[in-house]
């Protein structure tokens, strides 16, 4: 497994992994799959703002990705970022999420961020437990603030102080 910075050539696979979650789970609150153009725009915005996007490669295939993004668009939150992490369905439970979370935290430290927030849909125990394994603490659960597939969904907020 190789972890590296995402390149434009990885965007098709990143898009496919994200769209799988949008289409097949309640863990991403988008209703419509992202177009490749949507993903290119997201990628370029991250590059412009120096927010890292990492990919995990096995035999040159993207099997997972992680990124850091703005937590809230107020200057007072400039030292806090939100993490996103996705692993291709058939590659889950192989340590990829752990590798990506460790490396994206390293990127956050390099950029002098103080805290990382993760917002996870209630019921996504695999993701919640992964974050807990890395020292993230559950700080609150907003009950029924999300809605997808005719179901109101909880969102669990976890965070970690990294320095």
- Of 128, 131, 124, the closest CA to residue 148 belongs to 124
Average pLDDT, the chain: 97
Could you give the domains of the chain?
A: 2-161 (3.40.630.30)
Q: If you average pLDDT over residues 61-90, what whole number do you get?
A: 97
Q: What are the pLDDT digits (tens) for 77-127? A: 999 999 999 999 999 999 999 999 999 999 999 999 999 999 999 999 999
pLDDT for the residue 163: 85
Looking at residue 105, its pLDDT comes to 98
pLDDT in tens, 24-40: 999 999 999 999 999 99
The phi and psi torsions of 95 (rounded to 5 degrees) equal 90, 0
Query: DSSP H helical segments within the chain, as ranges?
Result: 11-24, 36-48, 96-110, 125-133
Instruction: Decide: 54 and 99 in contact? Cβ < 8 Å.
Output: no
Instruction: State how far the Cα of 138 lies from the Cα of 15, in Å rounded to an integer.
Output: 29
Distance in angstroms (rounded) separating the CA atoms of residues 40 and 11: 7
pLDDT above 90 for 67: yes
The full length of the chain comes to: 163
Beta bridge partners of 117: 82, 159
**Which candidate, 136, 46, 118, 43, places its Cα nearest to that of 82?**
118
């Amino acid at each position: 497994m190789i972890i590296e910075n995402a390149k434009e050539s990885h965007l098709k696979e990143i898009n496919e992994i994200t769209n799988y979650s949008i289409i097949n789970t309640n863990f991403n609150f988008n209703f419509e799959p992202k177009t490749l153009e949507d993903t290119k725009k997201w990628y370029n915005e991250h590059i412009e703002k120096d927010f890292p996007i990492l990919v995990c490669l096995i035999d040159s295939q993207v099997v997972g990705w992680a990124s850091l993004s703005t937590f809230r668009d107020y200057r007072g939150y400039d030292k806090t970022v939100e993490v996103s992490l996705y692993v291709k369905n058939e590659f889950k439970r192989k340590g990829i999420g752990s590798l990506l979370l460790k490396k994206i935290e390293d990127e956050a430290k390099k950029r002098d961020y103080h805290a990382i927030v993760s917002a996870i849909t209630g019921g996504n125990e695999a993701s919640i437990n992964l974050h807990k394994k890395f020292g993230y603490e559950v700080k609150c659960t907003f009950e029924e603030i999300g809605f997808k597939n005719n179901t109101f969904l909880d969102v669990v907020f976890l965070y970690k102080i990294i320095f």
